Structure 1
């Protein structure tokens, strides 16, 4: 099955502009194909469902906490697909180890929690595009926030978390990994 359609707009181009800073990963560079380690384990995928390493620097002055997310704007839905969101990351934390998004949250910094993804879980959900679809962009974003209390917890969805941190975002850094399900 081929889903012939254009890619969606870059999701953060649709939001008010913020300061930018730098995020990198030991696992992939901007535009690289994500490895099997970062592909979903389920729904017919045989990935490892491991969140990638992320590190960031040069965040704006006044940053009081961070939120980290992974969003697939190319999912064939009107609302994209949320693969991961962490809120409550303290301002002094500037790195997440590979597999920090494991179920249970043992790899998270103290005080941080993961929100409910579109998979219905509170952990990292790897790349899982439909077979034959266009290459999907998995946008990992680090949001620098001017507050350390968004007034939410892990009971909310990634969408609700994004709604809450949008008004507190003073800077954003993104890195995008690609993945296409060719059926092979």
Structure 2
């Protein structure tokens, strides 16, 4: 069995509850994972939206959350996590800040990809990297990956 990720807040390809979006408390959803491969030294979590700004005519991928150097022994993140596991570092999202930024689509139903990667290294401190810088540092080090996709459309 490979690596898996789930959430008690929404099913894979299911609707993300408003509670986890900019329309409410903008709280990060609970995430759980299993099947991290033996030999993994760290985990990376990237949450992004490839449908920005309009799913009918996407122009960019909007980054919502970047975490790296999560311990491979961790099994998830609690809802609204404020204390990250020891050693975890954060990257910059597209609001130009660290931390979780929930779904806030201007138009249409967007897909939110929660991607988890197991790496064979602990990455150096990349000083609040962008997604591109983080992905470059990960190149050649990915042992396994999984994703959980949630959907959200504003009313």
Both proteins in one fold, TM over 0.5 = yes
* Aligned pairs (5 A) from 1:82-97: 82-97=63-78
Partner of 1:171: 144
Contact 2:51 2:60 in 1 (8 A): no
Q: TM-score, normalised by structure 2?
A: 0.89
User: SS of the residue aligned with 1:73?
Assistant: strand
- Is 1:67 the counterpart of 2:41? The answer is no
What is the rounded CA distance, in whole Å, between the counterparts of 1:115 and 1:128 in structure 2? 19
1:139 deviation in Å? 0.6
Q: Quick check: which one's strand share is greater?
A: 2
Contact 1:71 1:82 in 2 (8 A): yes
* Partner deviation per Cα, 1:57-111 (whole Å, 9 max, x = no partner): 11222111101110101113543110001011111112111112xxxxx420011
User: SS of the residue aligned with 1:178?
Assistant: strand
User: Which residue, 30, 36, 56 being the options, matches 1:53?
Assistant: 30
Partner of 2:17: 35
What is the rounded CA distance, in whole Å, between the counterparts of 1:72 and 1:154 in structure 2? 23
Q: 1:154 to 1:34 in 2, by over 3 A?
A: farther
Contact 1:138 1:176 in 2 (8 A): yes
RMSD: 1.7
User: Which residue, 78, 94, 118 being the options, matches 1:144?
Assistant: 118
1:20 deviation in Å? 4.3
User: SS of the residue aligned with 1:159?
Assistant: helix
* Aligned pairs (5 A) from 1:153-164: 153-164=126-137
Q: Is the radius of gyration larger for structure 1 or structure 2?
A: 1
1:174 deviation in Å? 0.6
Alignment length, in residue pairs? Answer: 151
Instruction: Extract structure 1 runs of 4+ deviating beyond 2 A.
Output: 76-79, 151-155
Structure 2: any 5+ residue segments left out of the alignment? none
Q: 1:125 to 1:53 in 2, by over 3 A?
A: same
User: SS of the residue aligned with 1:52?
Assistant: coil
